[in-house]
Amino acid sequence: MIKKTLFAFLAVALPALLHAQDASTPTPQWRPVYHFTPAKNWTNDPNGLIYLDGVYHLYYQHNPFENKWGHMSWGHATSKDLLHWKHLPVAIPEMESKDTTTWIFSGSAVLDKQNSSGFGKNGKAPIVAIYTADQPKQQKESQFIAYSNDGGLTYTQYAGNPVVDINKKDFRDPSVIWLEDQQKWLMTVAVPAEHKVQFYSSANLKNWELLSEFGDQGDTRKIWECPSLTPLYVDGDPSKKKWLLMVSSGNPDAATGMQYFIGDFDGKTFTNSNPAESKLFVDYGKTFYAAIPYNHLPEGRQTMIGWLMPFETATFPWRGQMSIPRDLLLKTTPAGIRLFQQPSAVLNASLDKLPASKKLSKKDVTINNQELPLNTANGFNTNTNWIEAAFTPGTATDFGLKIAQQKGGMETVLGYNTQSHELYLADMKGGKVSGDVQKLQVQPVNNKIKLQVLFDKSSLEVFVNDGEQVLTTLLFPAAGATGFAAFAKEGSVELNELKVWNLDK
């Protein structure tokens, strides 16, 4: 749960930043099609991600009443394919009593298969939510639990709350997993202002023991939030197990972002495998935040969803969206073991089912100092494209893709400069840069630059070289800015393969 002060700033600054955009004017042109958004009103962090009986549950920070931050509760949606979502009633609403307001901040959910908590009924395992109770009047955050006996639709608060309380104003975002070898639950929770996480264990989800702390390593320019600790096999090898510790903090430019650590966890202490000063980032854009992995996925899969923090441009009647679900992998690279991310493999089935009119494929095309238009009057012109492209650099100084093109107007260029080895994302007008340029150092792999580009109305996720690096941002194209092309500048490039899926409804 990112600092409330940020949202207070947005509330004050928004009117000046919106210009002609009325905050209550519907903006269907910017509502994503294949990324989750609530039907209406504000959303931020994903919460309680859990997979049960073939269904993916997504809980999320939600204001049920307004299209701005406030009245924090757990919204709820479900999906069978991670693409189409069913909206459900609020699962855990804010609590009000005579002298206390309790907001339901971020946390996780687990299936208590052995009924260690005793909350189960009629032999059926309960779902237990572990979350931060933020009590603004008391200036305190502590960890509460609640349980569900109806498949996660509604929750009952535990009478013995709080279950973890260190009497701090900022102490939040518990992530809980089951340690099979120890037959215990493990909680990872953030102490934001101190740039640290704490680890607790429990046999019953009610009584927690502090194990250890980890912090003051990596990037400490911003507060630490939304931690998670996840076991992964390096290169898919079960004999090479490492632990991925992710923390929401900043990106390389100290803007909104996340960092990660790779290390060992002995059931009590996390030990960083890299030097303390080493900084590793989950995403190189400026909007990816608060991502957490799913619990209870089959076959040891690890998949996370993040929140794409909204920029100053207002959307209505919703505000905020989730990232595409991302599979997490650890791979050995020349620089050491690193995090790789790919759009969830579960989504491939939905892509395969699309009709031929929604698919575009090209192979071995030479582009020589020109643009190759890829949209037509009837297709691939709705800014809902999922693009996979592989280029072999040639004589061109720059090559890549152009999206959100408007005739005689703006366009967004995702280009690669062969001299600086930079992948860059720039809004252009009349061939000149208009606004910020986001850059990323990228080296060809096997003499190729591979890009997966997920452009969905107002969100853009770019996975580079099979997910070695990811850059996520938001775009708000003008009406009619739906052009789409590949390009090469001052020379030629080989477009080895291009696949495009149009996911418009």
Phi, psi of 444 (to 5 degrees): -60, 150
> What percent of the chain lies above the pLDDT cut of 90?
90
Position 17 scores a pLDDT of 37
Q: What is the pLDDT of residue 14?
A: 36
Residue 149 and residue 121 in contact, taking contact as beta carbons nearer than 8 Å? yes
Cis amide linkage into residue 477, ω under 30° from 0: no
Give me 35's structure tokens: 């990324």
Give the pLDDT mean for 373-399: 95
The per-residue pLDDT of the chain, averaged, comes to: 94
* pLDDT for 5: 46
> 26-62: per-residue pLDDT in tens?
999 999 999 999 999 999 999 999 999 999 999 999 9
CB-based contacts of 110: which residues, under 8 Å, 6+ apart? 50, 127, 128, 130, 176, 177, 178, 185, 205, 295, 296
Q: Please name the helix (run of DSSP H) or strand (run of DSSP E) that holds residue 455, with its range, or none.
A: strand 449-456
The encoded tokens of residue 53 equal 């009986």
Q: What is the pLDDT of residue 22?
A: 54
As a whole number of angstroms, the distance between CA 185 and CA 204 comes to 8
Classify strands 241-250 and 256-265 as parallel, antiparallel or unpaired: antiparallel
Q: Quick one: DSSP state of residue 380?
A: S
Measured distance CA(1)–CA(214) in Å, rounded: 19
Please report the beta strands in 112-254, taking only residues with DSSP state E, as ranges in sequence order: 127-135, 140-148, 156-157, 164-168, 172-179, 184-191, 196-202, 209-215, 225-233, 241-250
Catalytic residue among 45, 219, 283, 327: 45
- pLDDT confidence of residue 437: 93
Is 45 catalytic? The answer is yes
pLDDT tens string 327-382: 999 999 999 999 999 999 999 999 999 999 999 999 999 999 999 999 987 889 99
pTM equals: 0.95
348: phi then psi, degrees, rounded to nearest 5 = -60, -35
4 has a pLDDT exceeding 80: no
Degrees, nearest 5: CA angle 203-208-210:
120
Least confident of 158-167, 194-203, 421-430: 421-430
Does residue 451 come out as left (phi exceeding 0), alpha (psi in the -120 to 50 range) or beta? beta
In angstroms, the CA 145 to CA 159 distance is 9
Among 57-61, 68-72, 408-412, 489-493, the least confident range: 408-412
Please, which pLDDT band fits residue 19 given cuts at 50, 70 and 90?
very low
Strand partners, 462: 453, 471
Higher pLDDT, 300 or 87: 87
pLDDT at 3 over 70: no
**Alpha-carbon distance 143 to 49, whole Å?**
17
Say what the pLDDT of residue 2 is.
Answer: 53
pLDDT tens digits for range 96-123: 999 999 999 999 999 999 999 999 999 9
In contact, 247 and 260? CB cutoff 8 Å: yes
Cα separation, 10 vs 413, whole angstroms: 28
Tens-place pLDDT, residues 258-302: 999 999 999 999 999 999 999 999 999 999 999 999 999 999 899
Residue 474 has pLDDT above 90, yes or no: yes
